[in-house]
Amino acid sequence: MIRNATSIRLALQLSALILFVAASSGYIGWRIGSNRTPPGPPPVKSIEETLSELTKELSLTDDQVLRIRPILEKRERLAAMQAQNIAGRMNAFAEEMRTALDERQRSIFDERTREIRAKAQQRRPRPGPEVDHQENPKK
């Protein structure tokens, strides 16, 4: 009987230890993961960097480089136009939201918006208009 009770106690202690280790590992993983910012898109490569990589990887001829360069330039112009379009829409949404806020809330909202834009710029600088709501606030 004593041997059976000892086995049960040992099994309970082992189960508690396993549960503790699992919970600790989950918590540590969550803490490490929660401190990371989600990965943003990869940095934008210049046309020259892209051409250099393609030339090395594909062994492009000079003629092919001359034919591909305008395509990459067109892609870059399109990306810039899309970025400006998205930035314009986001600015319009922000301005619309500001109209529903009082002065104190607008101040907090503007600071939050600046912080979000600063983080976005650090991840991937993009061409496009920057709007500072403090310069021309709507009331």
CB-based contact 51:133 (threshold 8 Å): no
| 92 CB neighbour count, 10 Å cutoff | 11
Q: Which residues contact 106 (CB under 8 A, 6 or more apart)?
A: 98, 133, 137
CB-based contact 40:123 (threshold 8 Å): yes
pLDDT score recorded for residue 3: 72
pLDDT score recorded for residue 36: 63
Give the tens place of pLDDT for each residue, 42-51.
Answer: 677 899 999 9
Evaluate if pTM is beyond 0.85.
no
Amino acid identity, position 139: K
| Number of continuous H segments (helices) and E segments (strands) in the chain | 4, 0
pLDDT score recorded for residue 39: 61
Give the tens place of pLDDT for each residue, 55-70.
Answer: 999 999 999 999 999 9
Give the tens place of pLDDT for each residue, 16-34.
Answer: 888 888 888 887 777 776 6
Overall average pLDDT of the 85-103 stretch: 89
